[in-house]
């Protein structure tokens, strides 16, 4: 959909013109999974898919939410901003507006607004459609409410933190900061090597001669808020508590694989032990993978991606039949350097590095295996790595 078509849709929805248009991308994580809320590093990139927001102030002291993707519409009085029941989609926006005022008391909502959202991140695919919506809203409303920062890098980090707080408070998912950070700080043809404890980061060029990043959608929706995600967060806390009896730590990511050998015996809960083993291994793999990419060792990068999937499957237990079928089929294709689940898991997508000449075989073989084993059809997208949140008009 073009912005011109979106403008027309806004006029149809509200009978007047939009004043501004903003865009924020979804993301794909290359490696570093379930490490963000453990104080570890991640390596995501922003996609060209994302969420658009068109806005115009109104004179009615009401926030009107409409979407070109969702049939439900909401009208919320400015005096009544609070989480809405029944998993209302407007929560991902409303929460950001609420959190801006709480984090920045000088920010003022001067009027009501008419809002129209449009998204093209495949829904439920683990490519951060909700983070895109949060970050686009945080970007638009910080500007509208008169709170921004001249330092663009700091401003974008704050947008990510607003989005993450919204996810915690308005969606009940105790996520890390990766998704919102990638949406806010993305850079074309670069991945973001982010330390989720310090929020320091580096843009690393993704230069892959003759190789593409291919995303495969299971079409088996992930349900992050189903509780399984928050369970993992709690299990990691249990591991931290038990390890701290022998070695005080704040986050699992502080442990190197060598430390792990010393402390693993302190974890009495067998589930917490598996979860922690994944985190410690994944943090080390992520650092190694980023180094490999910088040195052009793409084969090694691919092997580390595959090892990441195995650990997420066996120790973190967030993959499931659909993701495993896709990854395991991909590993059999010549010209695939690595393949793994991406995002929270329990459905959603895999990400694979595939040589150009192998892409058609990859799609045909993985698609066929997947359909035979699950009865579902997979979708394939060659990822375009794009920029972070922006105002378009
Ligand atoms: C979801 C969360 C992220 C991160 C990933 C797993 O996408 O929103 O914060 O924890 O899962 O790496």
Q: What is the pLDDT of residue 47?
A: 98
Clarify whether 179 is annotated catalytic.
yes
CA of 261 to the centre of ligand 1 (A): 27
Mean pLDDT of the chain: 97
Exactly one of 36, 98, 114, 179 is catalytic; name it: 179
Q: What is the pLDDT of residue 380?
A: 98
Q: What is the pLDDT of residue 222?
A: 61
Residues with C-beta less than 6 Å from any ligand 1 atom: 33-34, 36-37, 175-176, 178-179, 343-344
Q: Ligand 1, closest atom to CA 42?
A: 12
Ligand 1, atom 1: nearest CA belongs to which residue?
344
Per-residue pLDDT tens for 260-288?
999 999 999 999 999 999 999 999 999 99
Q: Which residue out of 30, 175, 342 has the highest number of ligand 1 atoms within 8 Å of its CB and is therefore the one to mutate?
A: 175
Buried b / exposed e along 250-266 (16+ C-beta atoms within 10 A): ebbbbbeeeebeebbee
Q: What is the pLDDT of residue 221?
A: 67
- CA dihedral (129, 131, 136, 137) in degrees, to 10, reads 110
CA of 299 to the centre of ligand 1 (A): 25
Rounded CA-CA distance 4/131 in Å is 24
Give mean pLDDT, residues 302-324: 97
Per-residue pLDDT tens for 164-217?
999 999 999 999 999 999 999 999 999 999 999 999 999 999 989 999 999 999
Tell me how far the alpha carbon of residue 217 is from its chain's centroid: 15
Q: Ligand 1, closest atom to CA 167?
A: 8
Q: Ligand 1, closest atom to CA 224?
A: 1
Rounded CA-CA distance 174/194 in Å is 19
Q: What is the pLDDT of residue 124?
A: 82
Q: What is the pLDDT of residue 252?
A: 98
Percent of the chain with pLDDT over 70: 98
Give mean pLDDT, residues 317-325: 96
Per-residue pLDDT tens for 209-227?
999 999 999 998 665 556 8
Q: Ligand 1, closest atom to CA 131?
A: 8
Per-residue pLDDT tens for 327-359?
999 999 999 999 999 999 999 999 999 999 999
CA of 282 to the centre of ligand 1 (A): 14
Strand partners, 190: 205
Strand partners, 63: 76, 113
CA of 34 to the centre of ligand 1 (A): 6
Per-residue pLDDT tens for 122-157?
888 999 999 999 999 999 999 999 999 999 999 999
Q: What is the pLDDT of residue 302?
A: 98
Give mean pLDDT, residues 14-42: 98
pTM of the model: 0.97
Q: What is the pLDDT of residue 152?
A: 98
Per-residue pLDDT tens for 93-126?
999 999 999 999 999 999 999 999 999 998 889 9
Q: What is the pLDDT of residue 45?
A: 98
- Sign of the four-CA dihedral 294, 298, 299, 303: positive
CA of 77 to the centre of ligand 1 (A): 32
Contacts of 274 (CB under 8 A, 6+ apart): 314, 315, 316, 317
Per-residue pLDDT tens for 44-87?
999 999 999 999 999 999 999 999 999 999 999 999 999 999 99
């Amino acid at each position: 959909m073009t912005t011109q078509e979106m403008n027309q849709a806004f006029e149809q929805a509200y009978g007047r013109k939009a004043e501004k248009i903003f865009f924020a991308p979804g993301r794909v994580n290359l490696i570093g999974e379930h490490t963000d809320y453990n104080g570890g590093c991640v390596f995501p990139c922003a996609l060209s898919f994302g969420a658009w927001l068109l806005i115009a102030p109104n004179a009615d002291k009401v926030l009107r939410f409409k979407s070109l993707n969702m049939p439900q519409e909401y009208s919320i009085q400015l005096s009544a901003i609070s989480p809405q029941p029944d998993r209302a989609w407007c929560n991902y926006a409303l929460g950001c507006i609420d959190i801006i005022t709480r984090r920045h008391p000088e920010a003022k909502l001067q009027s009501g607004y008419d809002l129209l959202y449009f998204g093209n991140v495949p829904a439920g695919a683990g490519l951060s459609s909700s983070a895109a919506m949060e970050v686009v809203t945080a970007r638009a409303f910080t500007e509208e409410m008169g709170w921004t920062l001249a330092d663009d890098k700091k401003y974008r980090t704050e947008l990510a933190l607003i989005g993450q707080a919204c996810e915690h408070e308005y969606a009940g998912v105790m996520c890390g900061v990766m998704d919102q950070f990638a949406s806010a700080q993305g850079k074309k043809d670069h991945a973001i090597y982010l330390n989720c404890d310090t929020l320091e980061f580096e843009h690393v060029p993704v230069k892959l001669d003759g190789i593409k990043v291919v995303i495969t959608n299971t079409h088996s929706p992930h349900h992050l808020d189903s509780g399984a995600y928050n369970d993992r967060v709690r299990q990691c806390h249990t591991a931290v508590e038990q390890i701290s009896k022998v070695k005080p730590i704040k986050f699992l990511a502080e442990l190197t694989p060598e430390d792990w050998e010393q402390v693993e015996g302190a974890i009495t809960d067998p589930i917490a032990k598996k979860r922690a083993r994944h985190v410690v291994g994944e943090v080390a793999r992520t650092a190694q993978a980023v180094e490999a990419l910088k040195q052009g060792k793409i084969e090694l990068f691919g092997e580390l991606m595959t090892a990441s999937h195995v650990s997420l499957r066996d120790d973190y237990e967030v993959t499931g039949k659909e993701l495993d079928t896709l990854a395991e089929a991909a590993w059999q294709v010549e010209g695939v350097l690595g393949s793994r689940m991406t995002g929270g898991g329990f459905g959603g997508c895999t990400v694979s590095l595939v040589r150009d000449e192998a892409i058609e075989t990859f799609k045909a073989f993985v698609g066929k295996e997947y359909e035979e084993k699950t009865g579902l059809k997979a979708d394939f997208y060659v990822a375009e790595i794009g920029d972070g949140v922006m105002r378009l008009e």
